[in-house]
Each structure stands twice: as structure tokens, then as C-alpha cells.
Chains A and B, each alone.
Chain A
């Protein structure tokens, strides 16, 4: 966007309009297929946005979807995600506010205001800055258009109705630049546009040439205000977005510190300052970053994660203290910065009643401790997956979430992965339980057997499992050991397997 007085007038600012919504990030039609998004408007479905290919074929936002389908056979249609688009736009605005200019805000559903007052020279001038912004958007997958003008209204019109993706409006040249644009470029209500068209006013230039008095009487002040905003005669302030900074603490030391005790003491002080910040904001930490500046300019980093949002300073300090030994202080640390890099809302926490003499222990604390020692993925709960194949029936799950159980079929204590081949199998019937077999070089004589439990292949996962069958037998050897063997396939069903035997588990 723009604002800024140079010599008393409005100064160039910029705005860009995004032509394709962010869903184009996900769906990238190759070969130039036309893509549109559609949304429900009343009782009809209209296009919300159209890709460049679709627009080249004559489709435009607002057109009924049925008509678009007739015009373009093979049109790719996706549901419009207005909330997702708005979230993306806000993210972009936050990025712009951090990177390009302190004053940025979303403009409508498809644009951003950027106030370039006093920042363009930092990026090598207006034109180079805009080229960089356009290149950045292209890398993200956005088709962007950008216009710089001395007033927001002019930039808005130029970005949407100009010819080139990048339009620089010369100083005080808004009037000439906009003269040939249609009235719809002025952000006017539809009934004002209709009335103006009935009067024969088609372009902004024609409107600007008319006397103001009759216009004011005929259309009210809205039309003239928009016109003045476009020409920079009336200011148009906007509310810039303020990116949220994560709660952070910076400690600078008078003397460099190097001993673990001193670092832990400093960390404790940092936590004591960080926790009130979190309390005030109603946040809990999920990830805490520590960055230590060394005397020689190197930065030492450490990160801890927590299983659940917390602002328990003692707990966080314990987790972070386990990381101290991995820091290399060298000749000493000059400063220490704690950043709550990932936070979640956390309401006021009840204080543990001390009447029982002992604090109720929270499993999340222990899981954090173990995760710091082992790594987050190494602390888990085994949970059930709906699969009959034993090796697929178990998955690792978050230890703090409820886990699903298995049906009560007999299952071994130890599962061999992969199943080991069993040789010299003798069975009384081709499809019966074995009476003797050899596994890992040892011969076993079977005293009792139970089975089969038939497991079919999962054809929906892999095509070659379509006909596969496993027949599981629970066998007890003469010395009381119990094994879980399976035979691939059924002798009566050709193609169900090669009839080999495998050891898959050991019962207790």
C-alpha cells in the first residue's frame, strides 16, 4: 500500500493482488489444464477464482460453474477454501511486516497493502524491491501483481486493472494512469456502477471531468470519496498487522560464563523471567530454544520439546539442564537467549494441593524427561491398527493419547520379524498341524497343536496379496515351549501360497 508525503502529497506505496488462490499450491495442473475453484453463492455455484489458463479461455470469477463447464470441457474444479486463503494471506502479511515494511495488512480477500514509505531504498529502489517481492511470490507458487502509486486507491486499481504485473505510477500521475480504467476499478457499490453506466459514464477519466456538484447530488458522497482517494486528495489509513513475537528472554552477562553451574544458574534466572511472560499471555511452551552467544561470535543452540503445553519453570529448567553438557562454551558465553518457539494457549493452572504431602505426578513430566534422554520418537505406546496380519497390527502412538486394544486372540509374546523359514516339517494331513519340524538347526517334536487360524492377504494394500493365505498353528513341543507357525497357502486353493512353513512367534 502506500502513504507518505513527499512535498506535501501522497507518496508511492505498493499493493499487490493475487490472481490465483493458494489452492493452486496444492493442485498444479500440468499441460495447461484450466483450474478453477467454486463456491456456493445462494442457490447457485459460481467460480471463486480461475487460473491463468482458465482466464485465457474466457472464464472469470463470478461466472456460474455450469456455464464454465460448458465453455471448457475437462475443467478441473476444486472447492474454494476461503478461510484457508485468508489464513495464507495473513501469513504473507506477517511475513511482509517482518521482512519488507513495518506497515502491511491484508486488503480484501485477495490483496495486501504494503506501505513503502521510507523502506524502498533499503531494497534498492521501488522497482527492484517489487521485482524481489514478485520473485518471492513466484517461488511460493503465487501469481502476483503489484502496483505502486501515491494513493491506496490508485495502487488498488492499477494492481487489478493494469496491464503489466508490475506497475509503477509516476509521482502525481494517478489521474492520467487511471483515466482509461473502468469505474469498477474504484471499489464502488454495484448500484452506483449501474447508475453511472445509465448516465453514460464508463471510465474514471470521464467521471473526473464532470462537475462535482451534480455528482454529489446524484450519487451521494461515496463516489466522490473513492475518486478523491484514488487521486490522493483524501487520506485512506489502514490498520497494519502486527506479527506476534514468541515470548523470549535475553540475558547479557557482565563477564563471560563457562562453567555448567553458572550456565544452569543463568538458565534458572531466564526461566524465572520467562514464566511470568507466558502467564501474562496465557501460553504454555511446547518447544523452547536456547541460543548462547560465545565470546568468539559462534552461537551454541539447544532445543527441548514438551509433550504437553507447560509453563512449569522447574520442569523446563530440568529438561534444559540435561542439555547443558552438550553446549561448548569455549572461552565463555556472552549472552543467553531463551525463545518459546512453539507455544499453545494454556489457561490458568490449579496449584497442587500440598495436603497429601506429595505432589500428584504428571505422566507428561516423565515423558519429557525420557524424550530429552532418548529422543521424542523413542517414547511411545503400542496401539492397535485394524489389520489381521500380526506384523501390521501394531503401531507406535503418542504415549499421552488413549491407545486402542486388540481383540482377544492368542498372540505370542515375541514376534519374529521377518518370519523365519522352518524346515523338515512333517504333518499328518496336508492341511493339518505339523508333528515335527526343524528350526534354527534344532528338531522339535510336537506334543500338542491347535489351529489353523486363517489370515487372508490384504488385497487393498498390495495386488499380490489378493489370493494370499496364511494358516497359523499354535504348537507345543515336548519340552513345553510353544511356537506360532504358519503355512503359506492352502493345498486346496492353488495360487494361495507356496505351502512353505515359517516360524512367526513364540508363546510363553
Chain B
């Protein structure tokens, strides 16, 4: 029966109310789900639901191809994010390794200095996931990052829940396997999923190599549409940047499409 209250609400307002209800269900009404850490780049933060990366959530990244440069870019992207989260909250980051792992001076160049990160050398993916969950449940870390090549939906969901409950950010680096194709092809409960690839840098007017550029694809995000940007690699404090000179263009989405094409 139609309630005797006045007029039915306008369609836009009803949609907004429904979205809020869905978001509340998705976040299970937890109080810690609110904190957002912005990239500090207006064009990226505007496109992210909530204006930044959720601090109590799982974020995934993978390389755009199996080229070694792309794999390094994806690792450095997560390292830069972990460094920003560590600087922002003052906590430490935990990096779960399998194999030789990244070269620590390289990560320090993106702001993840040795006093901000410690490592746990794991033997396989199962151990990596268990170590990450230990780190998330501890609650005192700023971020927990791990490299895996295979994880089922349930174990990733466990990480997401552990991140939500303890207010710690989880970063999962999905590696390319020999066969199996795109690591982001499998479904996941991560809040954001990123694909990082190398892009040619701008030519310098003199001999030398300029600041590296990445093709950063936001493949999926909860509560918002996917998007892609061309960004410059992180500086010594983990800050990515928009390439100079393209800031004033009218249609950033169109530019990204052209680059991707």
C-alpha cells in the first residue's frame, strides 16, 4: 500500500538512497571502513570512489604484460602506495616475499626506506597468504604487501575481511604465470584492481633518460567505473605525478584512450 506520506521521492534521490544502502551492506557497517588516502593527484582522486584508496581494504595490482619492465613497474607501484600509507599513518609495512624479491635500494627510491618496511620470506603462496593475514590481524602495521601467483577467491576474501576488521591496508601483487594469461582475469574481492605497464618517457632536450612513465589502468573499483591514466613514476616519497604539460587538456579520458589505442 502506498504510504499516506505526501509525494513519492524523486528518482535520482531514490537511486542515491539505494546506492547508500548497498554500500552499507558491502562494508558490513564497520566503523573502520571510512579512512581514505588520496593519491594527491586531483584527476586520479576525482575518479576514485571516496576520493582516494580505502585504508581498510585490499588492493590488487598486476603487470600489463609478462615483460620484465612491467612486472617491476607493478611492484614499484605497490611499494610507492605502501610508502605513502606508511608515511601517512607512521606505521611499518610488511612485505611478504617468495623468491628473491625486490631489490631493497630500488624500493627505497620510491619512498619505502628500510626503516619503513620489513620482509618475511615465504616458501609458497599459501604461506604468503597466511603471513599477510597475520600481519593484517596484528593491527599495528600501516600496510601489508605480498606477491602471489595463484590464490583462490576464498583466501583473497579472507584478506579483504582481515583488512576491513583491523584497519590495515593489504596490497596483493599478482604475478604472471607461464600459462594462464592475465592474472587479473580471475575474479577477486579486492576493492580496487590495477594494471600497470611501462610507457615511453618524454624525450629530453639533452642526452639522458627522463622520469619514467606508466600506463596505469584502474581495471575495477568498488562503487565506481574503471579508468586509465598516464602517470609518472613515483618520486623519493612515493608520490606519483601527472606528466607536465598535459594537465590543461580538456578531456583526460579521451587522452588516455588515445594512448591506450
Contact = CB atoms under 8 A, between A and B. Distances in A.
Interface in B114-147: 114-115, 117-123, 127, 130-131, 134-135, 138-141
Nearest to B234: A508
B218 interface: no
Contacts of A360: 140
Contact of A481 (B130, B140, B198, B204): B198
Contacts of A390: 103, 105
B260 to A, nearest CB: 13
Contacts, number: 169
Nearest to A375: B121
| Most chain B beta carbons < 10 A, residue from A381, A390, A481, A505 | A481
Contacts of B108: 405-406, 411
A98 to B, nearest CB: 39
Interface centre among B76, B199, B209 (most CB of A within 10 A): B209
Nearest to B140: A361
Contact of B72 (A373, A378, A409, A506): A506
> What does DSSP make chain B's interface, helix, strand, loop or mixed?
mixed
Contact of A413 (B76, B135, B203, B204): B76
B238 to A, nearest CB: 13
B10 interface: no
B119 A382 contact: yes
Interface string A449-464: 1100000000000000
A70 B13 CA distance: 105
A375 to B, nearest CB: 9
Contacts of A443: none
A411 B120 CA distance: 22
A380 interface: yes
B128 to A, nearest CB: 10
A378 B123 CA distance: 10
Interface centre among B106, B107, B131, B201 (most CB of A within 10 A): B106
B202 to A, nearest CB: 10
B209 A370 contact: no
A399 B119 CA distance: 8
Interface residues of B, number: 58
Contact of A373 (B74, B127, B203): B127
B198 A379 contact: no
- Most chain B beta-carbon neighbours within 10 Å: one of A363, A417, A449: A363
Interface centre among A367, A378, A393, A413 (most CB of B within 10 A): A413
B212 interface: yes
B134 A373 contact: yes
A86 interface: no
A414 B208 contact: no
Given A406-B108, A448-B204, A507-B212, A481 B131 contact: no
A313 to B, nearest CB: 18
Interface of B: 67-77, 79, 92, 94, 100, 102-109, 113-115, 117-123, 127, 130-131, 134-135, 138-141, 197-201, 203-204, 207-210, 212-214, 233, 236
